[in-house]
Homo-oligomer: A and B are copies of this chain.
């Protein structure tokens, strides 16, 4: 009875296709979040750094980095969706709609869109589509995610298998341009790089050169800021090896920040097409990043183009920028393989 009021999270058999979960703890975003993000990640993109720059590119307010909104919105889903996860398997169709600005309060709601029990009957894959809305009810971010979740009771019957159809990538024409965005008088000196849309070629790889060695205090502070409660991130007694596992989103934000050096004009994340956390990261690891240009598209806004980028985080620097070995598996040292769209000036 002692734990009767604590939340055990949902197990595989607790989910049903069509089920809607209203996640707890609405969260007001503040300038404190922006400052902490800047203390934890070496971000230098001009837009989130400068209210003046935001105004100069047509934005009515000063948005925080898209990943701040994403981590907050995602964190809300953890207690209900992935507290009993075996593994996070993937993301898809993540789009950033209305920019998140300080003062906004985000809530997240998820709908179960797929279920597939594992053949061993001890766990299963749950697909959810999650939507974060602001205090005006506008959609800020939505995304699909799938995760393998333990069963509470291996004897529980398997649900009908439903595997949703998810796009390999968000189509360029479905990218949402923030109202007002106008890169026609974009200040490259303020942004820190002369490289525009036309300077990037599909297939090009960019070594972001810089590295950051992880500490436990930093990744825990970041993960808490997003109210992400997965115990493996905080508790040395929760894993046999006594290490705290770094939240995958921490690696994403770190790699995105490092990518400034080479992609300084990739000012806004427009969509996340796919993401794989290939290997775990721990305090003491030194993270590096490289990017590959996967696609390019023009966008219906003044001076705005979109680059589809692969962002790869590695443990230790790999100047050869090798994603996979000859047998198709990820190369040693690859931690993250993220596929996203960013808006850049044409």
Contact = CB atoms under 8 A, between A and B. Distances in A.
Interface of A: 2-7, 22, 24-28, 30-36, 38-46, 49-53, 62, 79, 102-103, 105, 107, 135, 189-193, 195, 199, 205-213, 215-218, 220-222, 224-225, 227, 229, 231, 234-238, 244, 261-264, 284, 286, 290, 316-317, 319, 321
Contact of A25 (B28, B49, B284): B49
Given A30-B32, A30-B34, 16 more contacts: A5-B199, A5-B262, A22-B189, A24-B193, A26-B52, A26-B190, A27-B49, A28-B52, A42-B229, A51-B105, A210-B229, A211-B235, A212-B220, A213-B234, A215-B215, A217-B218
Contacts of A195: 5
Nearest to A228: B42
Nearest to A42: B224
7 contacts: A2-B319, A6-B207, A6-B209, A24-B193, A25-B50, A215-B216, A218-B220
B213 A52 contact: no
Nearest to A3: B207
A53 to B, nearest CB: 6
Determine which residue in A39, A62, A210 has the highest number of CB atoms from chain B within 10 A of its CB, and name it: A39
Number of copies of this chain in the oligomer?
3
Given A105-B52, A234-B213, A225 B35 contact: yes
A207 B2 contact: yes
A30 B31 contact: yes
B28 A49 contact: yes
Contacts of A237: 211, 213, 286, 316-317
**4 nearest A-B residue pairs (beta carbon):** A32-B35, A24-B192, A217-B217, A26-B50
A335 B244 CA distance: 23
A124 to B, nearest CB: 24
Contacts of A215: 215-217, 220
Contact of A7 (B46, B235, B236, B261): B261
A143 to B, nearest CB: 21
Given A32-B31, A231-B211, A24 B190 contact: yes
A55 B210 CA distance: 44
Nearest to A207: B2
A27 B50 contact: yes
Contact of A36 (B36, B49, B231): B36
A205 B5 CA distance: 10
